[in-house]
Amino acid sequence: MLSNGVILLHDNARPHTANAVKTTLQQFRWETLEHPPYSPDVSPCDFHVFGPLKQAIRGHRFTTDDEVCDWVQALIRQQPTSFFKNGIDRLVSQWDKCATLLATIFEYVYYV
């Protein structure tokens, strides 16, 4: 896909949907995939990270935000390259799953 240009998937956070960002993306001629509504079981981009993170953090107590940040950064650094590669490889199928689910919901709402 990269030979055809950049395809960007990001969430709908306000900084990402601001007019200045949209204009810049248009100038770069980057295609932006619409991010489906949040659902933890079909999230297209972070489904891969948060399950293992929640398991690893279970039972830990932190006294400051910096402690949490340091702990999460250390955990991410410990992950093998394959952890991130597998997440990227699964991104397309996960996004398709979201898009299909969203299309089904819209179709149902339209016909009801």
Give the pLDDT band of residue 67 (cuts 50, 70, 90): very high
Q: How many residues does the chain have?
A: 112
Q: What ranges do the domains of the chain cover?
A: 1-35, 39-111
Q: What is the pTM of this model?
A: 0.45
Candidates 24, 35, 32; CA nearest to 6 is: 32
Cα separation, 79 vs 20, whole angstroms: 35
Per-residue DSSP letters for 9-21? E----HHHHSHHH
Class of the CATH-defined domain 39-111: alpha beta
Cα separation, 50 vs 102, whole angstroms: 22
Rounded mean pLDDT, 28-56: 70
CB 62 within 8 A of CB 38: no
